[in-house]
């Protein structure tokens, strides 16, 4: 309460509400939910963009090495590609990078459509920590664990 003194009479007025620190307590946080969502999406968009640039640069580097023969053995294949001493390991790296780029592009499309960050199996939100670590994740941790154990 804030007190105001007028002619020796103290009038009590309610002061500004004191919001609890925790947004889970039901009181509004200093930042609206829409603002939090917008900031979260901007952060994740930056993470996806950075991850995409990194994967694309690595893909181009691997492709240049494959085409120049610096990452391969001495014998040239039928199509002009150098044969790798590791039995195609260079090509497997390129395929993995290409797969990562496609996953990132799909995640960017989901983000723009407003469907990003939700598990494709159970529809629960994917925790922000998981999205920061793997920005193109489509499954929450429990659903991912079930998939890896052979269940769907």
Burial of 71-87, coded b for 16+ CB within 10 Å and e otherwise, reads: bbeeeeeeeeebbbeee
The confidence score (pLDDT) of residue 150 equals 85
Higher per-residue pLDDT: 90 or 74: 90
pTM of the model: 0.62
Percent of the chain residues topping a pLDDT of 90: 35
Distance CA 135, CA 137 (A): 6
Q: Is a pLDDT exceeding 50 seen at residue 24? A: no
Rg for the chain, CA atoms, rounded: 27
Give the per-residue pLDDT at 121: 94
DSSP 1: -
Q: How confident is the model at residue 63 (pLDDT cuts 50, 70, 90)?
A: confident
Lowest mean pLDDT among 42-46, 97-101, 102-106, 140-144: 42-46
> Which one, of 73, 74, 102, lies nearest residue 89 by Cα?
73
Tens-digit pLDDT profile for residues 94-103: 899 999 999 9
Q: Would you place residue 20 in the very low, low, confident or very high pLDDT band (cuts 50, 70, 90)?
A: very low
Asked if residue 4 has pLDDT above 50, the reply is no
Beta partners for residue 82, in sequence order = 76
Asked whether the predicted pLDDT for residue 106 surpasses 60, the reply is yes
123 or 34: which carries more pLDDT confidence?
123
**Mean pLDDT computed over every residue of the chain:** 76
């Amino acid at each position: 309460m804030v007190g105001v003194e007028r002619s020796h009479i103290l009038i009590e007025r309610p002061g500004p509400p004191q919001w609890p620190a925790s947004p889970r307590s039901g009181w509004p946080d200093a930042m609206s939910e829409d603002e939090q969502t917008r900031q979260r999406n901007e952060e994740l968009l930056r993470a996806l963009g950075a991850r995409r640039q990194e994967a694309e640069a690595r893909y181009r580097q691997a492709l240049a090495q494959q085409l120049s023969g610096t990452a391969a053995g001495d014998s040239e294949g039928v199509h002009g590609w150098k044969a790798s001493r590791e039995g195609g390991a260079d090509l497997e790296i390129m395929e993995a990078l290409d797969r990562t780029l496609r996953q990132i592009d799909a995640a960017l499309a989901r983000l723009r459509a407003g469907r990003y960050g939700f598990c494709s199996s159970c529809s629960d939100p994917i925790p922000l920590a998981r999205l920061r670590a793997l920005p193109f994740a489509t499954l929450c941790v429990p659903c991912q664990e079930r998939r890896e154990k052979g269940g769907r």
